[in-house]
Copies of this chain bind each other. A is one copy, B any other.
């Protein structure tokens, strides 16, 4: 989606080394740099160099990297133009294949592949950028969610404390009632009845509160 949303100021240039090069050549730099005086070694050098060059340039991925390299300023890399088809990079990735193929039809097969590879690479660049952005956003959201849950947790804690306070107030009210009842006949019988009711229906888990209440009713 957001290709080119973040043109980097530091664009690096990479190039594939075809895998069949892996063990084929191991000319330490000295071979190529320092020993260019004698004719024979020169020829050997040339042979070797050509071997490498031909091999390298034979690959269709040839010059994409150079074309993909950053401009001097690179902040408007998206404005770079591919001369063969007169399209900016920005346009190259937004155009659809149907139209692109029309533009490409007169170019060599090699060049067609090159341009398509440029397109692919540019698209990849965007995908990765999107992927990274997405990850950042997701992390932010999770962080916010955690903060929100913490807030809610505090609210709930406060609610619990408020409820406990109310319970205590009510228990104290009951205490008053019970003490008041002491003045009357049959108070013991009544208190016992109340205690039985409470014990049966109210499974206390808060030990202190339980003790308080039972003390009231004894």
Contacts of A165 in B (CB 8 A): 202
- CB of A162 closer than 8 Å to a CB of B: yes
Judge whether A98 is part of the interface by a CB distance below 8 angstroms: no
Q: Contacts A49-B50, A163-B164, A172-B197 hold; do A63 and B29 have CB atoms under 8 A apart?
A: yes
Q: A52 within 8 Å of B by Cβ?
A: yes
With a cutoff of 8 Å between Cβ atoms, the chain B residues found around residue A62 in the complex are 28-29
Q: Determine the residue in chain B with the shortest Cβ distance to A156.
A: B156
> Is A17 within 8 A of B13, CB to CB?
yes
By size class, the interface of chain A is 35 or more
* A159 contacts across to B, CB distance below 8 A: 160
Cα A180 to Cα B184 in complex, Å, equals: 11
Please give the distance in Å from A164's CB to the nearest CB on chain B: 7
User: In whole Å, how far is A16's beta carbon from the nearest beta carbon of chain B?
Assistant: 7
Complex: chain B residue closest to A195, CB-CB: B173
B-side contacts of A145, CB under 8 Å: 146
Smallest CB–CB gap between A203 and chain B, Å? 8
B interface footprint on A56-85 (CB within 8 Å = 1, 0 otherwise): 011000110110010000000000000000
Given contacts A159-B160, A204-B166, contact A26 B63 (CB under 8 A): yes
A interface with B by C-beta (< 8 Å):
12-17, 19, 21-22, 25-30, 32-33, 45-46, 49-50, 52-54, 57-58, 62-63, 65-66, 69, 108, 110-111, 142, 145-146, 149-150, 152-153, 156-157, 159-160, 162-167, 169-174, 176-178, 180-181, 184, 190, 193-194, 197-198, 201-205, 213
